[in-house]
Amino acid sequence: MGKSSSQTGAAFPGGGASLKDVATYYAPDMPSRTSASSRILRRLFYRRKTVRVAKELLGKILVRKLGGTRLEGIIVETEAYRGHDDAASHAYRGPTARNQVMFGEPGHAYVYFTYGMHYCLNVTTEPAGQPGAVLLRAVQPTRGIAEMKKRRRTEQVRVLSNGPAKLTQAFAVNKELNGYDLTDGGALYITEPSLVEPVRVAVSTRIGIKTSAEKRWRFFVKDNQFVSGQ
């Protein structure tokens, strides 16, 4: 992992946006700003440059519905992966059966199996036809923690979801959710928090890759104890 730098990010969506601009990123059903459904991120949020989306996902809320159980966590660490200009990306050599979700409409889950044992959760970005995805590396658990402990088989809250594989295990994410639409408020989606606050964003090179390792496309909340590594 490379050296990191930090900066204070604007609350949403990244500096100088008016309330009218901000509203366009929420789901179309907007009865009030306090309604959970009104804060679901719309497709427009994801249909932008991957690196920008990766940074601005910090502080957003990942939501997973499991029957009557609701799991939530604050996204505190992400990594951006693009297409032909990013040799570390699954989309580098073009579309395949595995990565086709990355080439489709933005705002979908891209879930893949790695090392023969773990799932990783990404969200697709960029306009359709332009591959891009943001890996969710870590979240800070805030709701449904008892269920997460059962799934992770640990009582230590700090290690429930501080890594991509831990995150998918805690939030019951597997290949069945590959291609899932994150904008419809179903079993898996991402929302703006009810109280939007500035996020201290730190930046570093990405973790665990050898190609395109110089790209500083990893973003995390500075000094947050749930980040996989500072």
Task: Please state the domain count of the chain.
Answer: 1
31 located within any domain: yes
227 located within any domain: no
110 located within any domain: yes
Tens place of pLDDT per residue across the chain (230 aa): 344 555 544 333 333 333 333 334 444 333 334 466 789 999 999 999 999 999 999 999 999 999 999 999 999 999 999 999 999 999 998 999 999 999 999 999 999 998 778 999 999 999 999 999 999 999 999 999 999 999 999 999 999 999 999 999 999 999 999 999 999 999 999 999 998 888 999 999 999 898 998 999 999 999 999 999 76
Q: How far is residue 90's CA from residue 50's CA, in Å, rounded to a whole number?
A: 14
Q: Which amino acid is at 180?
A: Y
CATH number of domain containing 84: 3.10.300.10
Bridge partners of residue 66, in order along the sequence: 69
The whole domain housing 78 covers: 5-221
229 located within any domain: no
Classified as helix, coil or strand, 49 is coil
Strand duo 199-204 + 69-81: pairing: unpaired
How many beta carbons lie within 10 A of that of residue 29, not counting itself?
10
230 located within any domain: no
226 located within any domain: no
228 located within any domain: no
> Among all chains, which residue has been given the structure tokens 């009582």?
155
214 located within any domain: yes
pTM for the structure as a whole: 0.85
